[in-house]
Amino acid sequence: AQSVTQPDIHITVSEGASLELRCNYSYGATPYLFWYVQSPGQGLQLLLKYFSGDTLVQGIKGFEAEFKRSQSSFNLRKPSVHWSDAAEYFCAVVPSNDYKLSFGAGTTVTVRA
Amino acid sequence: SAVISQKPSRDICQRGTSLTIQCQVDSQVTMMFWYRQQPGQSLTLIATANQGSEATYESGFVIDKFPISRPNLTFSTLTVSNMSPEDSSIYLCSEISGQGDEQFFGPGTRLTVL
């Protein structure tokens, strides 16, 4: 069955430390891949996307993600987190022949001073 | 990306009543969608709002409970009918301009049913 998995429900990280959020997918063909962020009381904001080409994708707010076909993964990273990065992060996929987004369960990021 | 607005931004309703949520996009878009985000949960697609025809519902969602309209390429409504406390959620609309493009989301409508 097609699925997208975020193994980490909650991550706590110190301000200034690095952050990595995991995302794995299970689809027959490589889907389109996205990371969204939802800050408290806010809507969803697109951080970055991968369609094809360079497997290291740069996004907004200093985030990047790396697509690894062999591992069916699309992990999100940030070298140095800021307190404002505390939010809920969602990995999402769209099959390459479709348009419907499927979301992972989300990872809550807490940033401690 | 298009700018998407939703009304109301939040509401508190009594069980058994209905609420209609509006979604307005500032430019013509190919497809519009409605999602539900239950408390502490991820987003689940309710339906695809089709312009000029009946919406396409996902498994577990039915037209009688969530009637949807899309009279033109920039506007859609979602009605939550005969509400119960289990309908308390954030409802979000989104749009996409083409297959494979990124989806952009409205700010959401936070619904509480008492």
Half-sphere exposure in the Cβ direction for A62 (13 Å, CA): 11
State residue B28's pLDDT score.
84
* Partner-chain residue, chosen from A34, A99, A105, that has the shortest CB–CB distance to B42: A105
What is the percentage of chain B residues whose pLDDT exceeds 90? 78
Cβ-based contacts under 8 A for chains A and B: 44
Interface check for A31 against chain B (CB to CB < 8 A): the answer is: no
Reported for A62-71, long-range contacts at CB under 8 A and 24+ positions apart, including other chains, are: A63/A35, A65/A33, A65/A35, A67/A33, A69/A30, A71/A24
Residue A47 pLDDT exceeds 90: yes
Judge: B107–A49 Cβ closer than 8 Å, yes or no. no
Helix, strand or coil, per DSSP, at residue B100: coil
Pairwise CB contact (< 8 Å): A99 & B105: no
Residues of chain A in contact with residue B99, where contact means CB-CB under 8 angstroms, are 98-99
Minimal CA separation from A79 to chain B, in Å: 25
Task: Please tell me the predicted confidence (pLDDT) of residue B99.
Answer: 59
B106 touches chain A (CB under 8 A): yes
pLDDT for position A77:
98
The residue-averaged pLDDT of A17-34 equals 92
Q: pLDDT (tens digit, 9 = 90+) per residue, B30-49?
A: 889 999 999 989 999 999 99
B100 pLDDT more than 70:
no
Answer whether A99 sits within 8 Å of B108, measured CB to CB. no
Give the burial string for B20-43 (b: 16+ CB within 10 Å, else e): ebbbbbeeebebbbbbbbeeeebb
Per-residue confidence (pLDDT) for residue A41, from 0 to 100: 75
Q: Torsion angle, CA of B13/B14/B18/B23, rounded to 10 degrees? A: 10
For residue B62, pLDDT over 90 is answered with yes
Mean pLDDT, chain A, rounded, equals 93
Task: Assign A10 a pLDDT band (cuts: 50, 70, 90).
Answer: very high
Q: Does residue B82 register a pLDDT over 90?
A: yes
Q: What pLDDT, in 10s, does the model give residues A51-97?
A: 888 899 999 999 999 999 999 999 999 999 999 999 999 999 988 77
Please report which confidence band the pLDDT of residue B51 belongs to, taking 50, 70 and 90 as the band edges. Answer: confident
Tens-digit pLDDT profile for residues B5-35: 999 999 999 999 999 999 999 988 888 999 9
